[in-house]
Amino acid sequence: MQNISDTIIACSSPLGRGAISLVRISGPDLTFLSQKLKIKNLVNKKAIVKEIQLKHDFKEKCVLTFFKSPNSFTGEDVLEVSCHGNPLIVEFIIDFFVDLGCRRAGPGEFSLRGFINGKLSYLEAEAIDDLINSENELQLNASARSLAGEFEKKVDSLIDELLKLRVYLESNIDFSDEEIIKDFKRFKKNLNDFSIKINDFIRDSDASRYLIEGAKVVITGPPNVGKSTLMNILCNKNASIVSEISGTTRDIVQRSVKIDNVSFLLHDTAGITKISKDPIEKEGVFLAQELLSNCDLIIEVVDVFSRDYSCDYDKPVIRLENKSDLSDDLNKKKINTSFLKNTGIEELKAKMIEKLNLPNSLGQITFSARSRHTKLLKMAEEELSEALKLDSEDSLELIADNLRYASNLLGEIKSPYTSDELLGEIFSSFCIGK
């Protein structure tokens, strides 16, 4: 993990040309800078103009704004240096301060310091990251509300409700010889209601995650049925290619598209469904299976010649039968497409949105959730459904154990387990300068 007591510096505005760039400096005590800059004293929340002598006799007139600890984003002394928006000037300025004893910040180091100094909760830090990465209004609104604490409030209320359920159980176990309300049926009903509530929350979180991170879709099926073509069709028509990473995961091609404002991360597992002895292909099969168990939606493509091909998945699945133009006998249980004739594609797109089980209006989503959150929520939900399976009162202690785990999992959303590696890892997914 990084040093957290030295002075760090990074450009906090986007790299590139513009009117102004902002370089941010944070450290426990920045008075050493004022001496070196020959400024009498830095005054809290006051901006001053200062000409700084940079490399190669280059001078830059900067605006320096000082925030005294603890009244800053990081909770430390913070100096913000505004200069002309040129990457070269920014580099010069950073070099200048590095010479004075600052260190170039790693990703997320400013947020990490803010978190460590109690200036922002873990969920807020994540929301800031989402806010900055928002690409449309829906995302922006959702992450802004998350930052305002909507998500945290929701998690808190779930934790509270779960606590009440646990109180019922624990008092029935620890005070059974005294008089307390024993109504197992009602408890089971409350537990069931709570589980529905968590499920709704998971649905909303998933939806918000699709907004922020995109829904993970895997296209699978036997070879030569048109999986790659489908990928291209989905990407080229009415969709924008955001990124194209090929070969990084061997035979798995990944592309990001948007359909109706929802991001989809498409994964093509072309030609690797058969069992193979080739070690490289084996690796490919392994990766494909990984993907299948971690995705949000599966599109299984077959064609009229490979109708018998069908696999079981434990994720939502859309089954396509391609090359419908080559047969008169259509399978009514599947979506019939002809990639060649471009039929059935709109039906598929509608189905893709439908299968994600989004709330009626995406505008209703009042928070930004990440896969880290939904993963924990789903694990908690599994504990609850395990508990609901236990149908007799003599298993109270087992139900209590399931609920204890569920409660720990919900708690972990708010404050991830603080092993230092994990913390460093989480914050390093942030951009430099935050």
Q: Which residues bind other proteins (CB under 8 A)?
A: 1, 3-5, 28, 75, 115-118, 122, 170, 173-179, 390, 392-398, 400-401, 404-405, 415-416, 418-420, 423
Min dist. Cβ of residue 408 to other proteins (A): 9
C-beta of 118 vs 247, nearer to other proteins: 118
Q: 361 vs 418, which CB is nearer to other proteins?
A: 418
DSSP 8-state symbol, 261: T
For other proteins, give the closer residue by CB, 137 or 397. 397
CB of 58 to other proteins, least distance (A): 36
Smallest Cα–Cα separation from 230: which of 153, 396, 345, 129? 345
Q: How far is the CB of 118 from other proteins (least distance, A)?
A: 6
Complex with other proteins: residue 67 or 96, whichever CB lies closer: 67
Nearest distance from residue 168's CB to other proteins, in Å? 12
Identify whether the C-beta of residue 384 lies closer than 8 Å to the C-beta of residue 402.
Answer: yes
Nearer to other proteins, 222 or 416 (CB): 416
Q: Which is nearer to other proteins, 121 or 133 (CB)?
A: 121
Sequence-ordered list of residues with C-beta below 8 angstroms from that of 148, at least 6 positions apart, any chain: none
Q: Considering the complex, what minimum distance in angstroms separates the CB of residue 377 from other proteins?
A: 19
Give the integer Cα–Cα distance in Å for 99 and 296: 49
C-alpha distances (whole Å) from 111 to each of 7, 21, 429 are 14, 19, 11
Rounded to whole angstroms, the Cα distance separating 310 from 305 reads: 13
Classified as helix, coil or strand, 240 is coil
Contacts of 123 (CB under 8 A, 6+ apart): 146, 151, 152, 155, 413, 414
Q: How far is the CB of 309 from other proteins (least distance, A)?
A: 27
Give the integer Cα–Cα distance in Å for 20 and 17.
Answer: 8
Q: Which two tokens stand for residue 94?
A: 């950073």
